[in-house]
């Protein structure tokens, strides 16, 4: 059985590029964290587009592909980062409707991804099926016409990892040749393809054993018990910037020339007269985390639809709370300085900030400093919902400082 699957895997590997050739490369973005290249994200479509409405057309064949650069990349960390972006780029009714699909999708991510790995998510408009494969070995399928767009909005919605990241994916085929050459050079070796096939075979055998031992359980409709308001893009995304001759901010748009700190979708109020709160002394700033933290693969309770919804809604609440405390530094405005900053934040169960790590910096120290201080001013955060059962909660905060045209 195992040898047959390995042979099939090697045959699939030999024709790996054939499947991607059917679609056009719309855009290519590089994900960097702690000044290290981690992976590429590519969007393919049968119809090139420089706007989200066209790219989100469910009648068009499309594909998302992640190619891994790092030697070792935690699949679970990638999944959690993606799910955070899904939470803040989709309306609450979509999150609720896709909760069970998100459980299926999340459970496809196992172990570690390796340099050269291709994670592909392909959408077929004729069937509405989204298929997920690793190095052209099928991991699973989700039969829901809306699911692919739920994933895609994480990268091209109003709150992407950065506006530069989103713009790179919305390039309508105008891709940097240097990045493209590096992207295309990332290929899994035959041994890695065989390894993935063997791991999948072992997982299938384990599932069969579990299925025999377990009694049938009726699928329960997910419910939320936490007192958390549902996330809305309107709530996350709009706030007037108080500075002379400054317009109200619009989600994910180029900002007025004065002070709009846009945590992607969120433009944040910034009043020159407002006084900052004292910085929280418990917060630890680090430019890079210890290597052990990057490589750890902690044990995690089995995901449920209820848990995913609670995490997504709670994450949206934490971002809204942070965005209220961001101010565009006046000196940076006067000098025309713009940039994106991304932070990893850890809070305890009561919402106290215990550490802040800069994942991605802008070129300007004043913007980097303001992002850190905004998180410190925001503490304490809302307490962790009881059903998450976590002593500490980790989340990322993407912030873009953008001046108007």
Residue 180 to residue 192: CA distance in whole angstroms: 23
Taking residues 393-398, what's their average pLDDT? Answer: 92
Q: Work out the pLDDT band at 351, boundaries 50, 70, 90.
A: very high
DSSP annotation string for 204-256:
HHHHHHHHHHSPP-PPPPP---S--PPP-HHHHH--B--STT-PBP-TTSPPP
Task: Give percent of the chain above pLDDT 90.
Answer: 54
Taking residues 267-276, what's their average pLDDT? Answer: 34
Taking residues 169-178, what's their average pLDDT? Answer: 95
How many whole angstroms from its chain centre is CA 271? 31
pLDDT at 189 over 70: yes
**What is the tens place of the pLDDT at every residue in 115-173?**
999 999 999 999 999 999 999 999 999 999 999 999 999 999 988 888 899 999 999 99
Residues in a beta bridge with 31: 39
- The pLDDT score that the predictor gives to residue 322 is 95
* Pairing state between β 339-348 and 261-262: unpaired
Cα separations in angstroms, 372 against 308, 368, 403: 27, 7, 20
- The pLDDT score that the predictor gives to residue 337 is 94
- The pLDDT score that the predictor gives to residue 208 is 61
Taking residues 6-34, what's their average pLDDT? Answer: 62
Q: Work out the pLDDT band at 60, boundaries 50, 70, 90.
A: very high
Two structure tokens written together for 305: 């639809």
Two structure tokens written together for 371: 């992002």
Choose between 382 and 264: higher pLDDT. 382
**What is the tens place of the pLDDT at every residue in 273-324?**
333 333 343 344 444 444 434 444 455 667 888 888 888 889 989 999 999 9
Burial of 63 (0-12, 13-18, 19+ CB in 10 A): buried
Choose between 238 and 30: higher pLDDT. 30
Choose between 138 and 3: higher pLDDT. 138
Q: Work out the pLDDT band at 213, boundaries 50, 70, 90.
A: low
* Listed range (72-76, 98-102, 217-221) with the worst mean pLDDT: 217-221
- The pLDDT score that the predictor gives to residue 207 is 62
Task: Give percent of the chain above pLDDT 70.
Answer: 70
pLDDT at 262 over 60: no
Residue 164 to residue 260: CA distance in whole angstroms: 17
pLDDT at 17 over 60: no
pLDDT at 111 over 70: yes
Compute how many other C-beta atoms are within 10 angstroms of the C-beta atom of residue 221.
8
- The pLDDT score that the predictor gives to residue 302 is 73
pLDDT at 349 over 80: yes
Q: Work out the pLDDT band at 211, boundaries 50, 70, 90.
A: low
Choose between 211 and 242: higher pLDDT. 211
- The pLDDT score that the predictor gives to residue 229 is 36
Choose between 86 and 4: higher pLDDT. 86
Two structure tokens written together for 23: 């679609």
Cα separations in angstroms, 223 against 77, 166, 220: 25, 33, 9
Report the mean per-residue pLDDT for the chain: 77
- The pLDDT score that the predictor gives to residue 71 is 93
Taking residues 102-125, what's their average pLDDT? Answer: 93
pLDDT at 224 over 60: no
Choose between 18 and 310: higher pLDDT. 310
pTM score above 0.95: no
- The pLDDT score that the predictor gives to residue 209 is 61
């Amino acid at each position: 059985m195992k040898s047959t699957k390995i042979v099939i895997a090697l045959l699939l590997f030999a024709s790996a590029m054939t499947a991607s050739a059917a679609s056009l490369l719309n855009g290519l973005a590089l994900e960097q964290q702690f000044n290290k290249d981690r992976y590429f994200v590519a969007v393919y479509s049968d119809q090139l587009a420089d706007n989200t409405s066209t790219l989100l057309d469910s009648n068009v064949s499309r594909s998302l592909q992640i190619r891994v650069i790092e030697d070792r990349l935690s699949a679970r960390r990638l999944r959690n980062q993606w799910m955070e972006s899904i939470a803040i780029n989709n309306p609450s009714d979509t999150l609720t409707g896709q909760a069970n699909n998100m459980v299926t999708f999340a459970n496809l991510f196992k172990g570690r991804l390796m340099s050269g790995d291709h994670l592909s998510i392909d959408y077929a408009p004729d069937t509405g099926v989204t298929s997920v494969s690793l190095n052209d070995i099928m991991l699973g399928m989700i039969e829901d016409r809306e699911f692919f767009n739920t994933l895609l909005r994480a990268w091209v919605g109003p709150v992407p990892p950065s506006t530069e990241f989103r713009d790179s994916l919305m390039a309508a085929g105008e891709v940097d040749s240097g990045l493209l050459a590096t992207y295309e050079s990332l290929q899994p070796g035959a041994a890695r393809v065989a390894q993935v096939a063997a791991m999948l075979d072992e997982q299938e055998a384990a599932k069969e054993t579990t299925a025999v031992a377990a009694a049938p359980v009726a699928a329960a409709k997910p419910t939320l018990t936490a007192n958390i308001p549902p996330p809305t893009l309107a709530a996350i995304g709009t706030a007037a910037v108080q500075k002379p001759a400054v317009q109200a901010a619009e989600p994910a748009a180029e900002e007025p020339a004065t002070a709009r700190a846009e945590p992607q979708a969120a433009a944040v109020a910034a009043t020159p007269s407002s006084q900052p709160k004292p910085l929280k002394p418990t917060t630890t700033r680090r430019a890079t985390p210890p290597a052990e933290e990057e490589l750890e693969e902690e044990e995690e309770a089995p995901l449920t639809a209820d848990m995913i919804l609670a995490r997504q809604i709670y994450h949206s609440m934490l971002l809204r709370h942070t965005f209220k405390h961001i101010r565009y530094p006046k000196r940076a405005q006067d000098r025309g300085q713009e940039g994106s900053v991304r932070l990893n934040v850890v809070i305890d169960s009561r919402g106290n900030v215990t550490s802040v790590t800069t994942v991605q910096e802008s070129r300007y120290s004043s913007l980097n400093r303001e992002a850190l201080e905004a998180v410190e001013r925001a503490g304490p955060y809302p307490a962790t919902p009881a059903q998450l059962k976590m002593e500490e909660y980790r989340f990322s905060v993407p912030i873009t400082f953008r001046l108007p045209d």
